[in-house]
Structure 1
Amino acid sequence: MKENVKRLAQLGVLTAVALIIFVVELQIPNPFPIPGIKLGLANIITVYAVYHYRVYEVAMLVTVRLVLGAVFGGNISALLYSAAGAYLCLIGMLLLKRVIDEKHLWMASVLGAVLHNTGQLLMALVLLRTPQLWLYYPFLLLSGCLAGAFTGLCAQLVTVRLKGWKR
């Protein structure tokens, strides 16, 4: 019982940190003329959680972050895009976790970022019915690889720093 309470408290802290990072990142102006390109710094926490928590716990963390992020960010309409990207990213990283160890989790983050952009673009195609959106895809792939590598390396550092936290 005590272990469950500790685990729940840790997940609450991780969710809060991810939400804070998300809200702070919203304040940073996008230097790129292409919509949808951003670092996705809150995914540092998601990548860490994928390698240290159970599937349903990570799914809850992501869900709470998505919903509260939409509320605090003031953009409820973006929730569908965010959810499509986040869940596709999560599924991909959970599958990749089986073949990529924790020492190389940054690679899972790169794939996750690419899948996140793919999920968002697919949702945009479904909702907006504008096939020209595919023209953004090469830019989203490149930015996803770069952002995923950055957030993955940050998650790698978080993993090292939080080594004794789960005891």
Structure 2
Amino acid sequence: MKAGKLTRLALLTALALIIFIVELHFPNLIPLPGVKLGLANIITVYAVYKYSPKEVALIVAARLILGAFFGGNVSALMYSGAGAALCLAGMLLIKKVIPYRYIWLSSVVGAILHNTGQIIVAVLVVGSFAVVSYYPILIISGCIAGAFTGICAQLLLKRDLPEKRSDV
């Protein structure tokens, strides 16, 4: 990997980590665990459309691990990791089938998959399907947050892509 690309990936990772840490200090709009804007995902969606899957996975993995340590919640890493893995896989797949002007939909699908990963881990940790009753709340809030972060990423990409792209 060339130094310039490595530098850009490191900067995106740092930016995502900073956004994540700043967001930790926001008061929760909805006082339920797991319900948040997920503003660092703006960087993930942006990276999905700018870099290779391997490079995006590196950004996400570094942000998750560092975020868990800096945020002081290493135990949440398994929830975040499962959610991020499903989210990233889904966004990488959907990227191949939707036009650039619907990038925000990729983020919504990613949010749904992220919440699905979190619920699967919760069922395994708690050992009960009772936590599944929480899933509709996560899906609704995730779709709203995913649409917001997706629109933000789409606006960033629109500014960043070559002029010839008129479908963004």
Q: TM-score range by the shorter chain?
A: over 0.9
- 1:163 equivalent in structure 2: 161
Q: TM-score, normalised by structure 1?
A: 0.93
Percent sequence identity over aligned pairs: 59
Equivalents in 2 of 1:101, 1:9: separation in Å?
A: 29
Q: How many residues align?
A: 162
User: Which of the residues 24, 28, 31 maps onto 1:30?
Assistant: 28
- 1:89 equivalent in structure 2: 87
Equivalents in 1 of 2:82, 2:52: separation in Å?
A: 21
- 1:70 equivalent in structure 2: 68
Q: TM-score, normalised by structure 2?
A: 0.93
Cα drift, residue 129 of structure 1: 1.1
User: Which of the residues 43, 46, 59 maps onto 1:45?
Assistant: 43
- 1:115 is aligned to 2:113: yes
1:99-126 superposed Cα distances (whole Å, 9 cap, x missing partner): 0122211000000001101101111111
Specify the SS of the correspondent of 2:81: helix
1:82-139 superposed Cα distances (whole Å, 9 cap, x missing partner): 0000110000000000001222110000000011011011111111113111111111
Cα drift, residue 19 of structure 1: 0.3
Specify the SS of the correspondent of 1:63: helix
Equivalents in 1 of 2:160, 2:70: separation in Å?
A: 27
Equivalents in 1 of 2:158, 2:16: separation in Å?
A: 18
- 2:125 equivalent in structure 1: 127
Cα drift, residue 30 of structure 1: 1.2
Tell me which stretches of 4 or more aligned residues in structure 1 moved more than 4 Å.
Answer: none
Cα drift, residue 35 of structure 1: 1.2
- 2:166 equivalent in structure 1: none
Query: Where does the alignment leave 5 or more consecutive residues of structure 2 unmatched?
Result: 163-168
Query: Where does the alignment leave 5 or more consecutive residues of structure 1 unmatched?
Result: none
Cα drift, residue 160 of structure 1: 2.1
Equivalents in 2 of 1:128, 1:33: separation in Å?
A: 21
1:8-28 superposed Cα distances (whole Å, 9 cap, x missing partner): 111011000000000000001
Specify the SS of the correspondent of 2:30: coil
Equivalents in 1 of 2:20, 2:135: separation in Å?
A: 23
- 1:139 equivalent in structure 2: 137
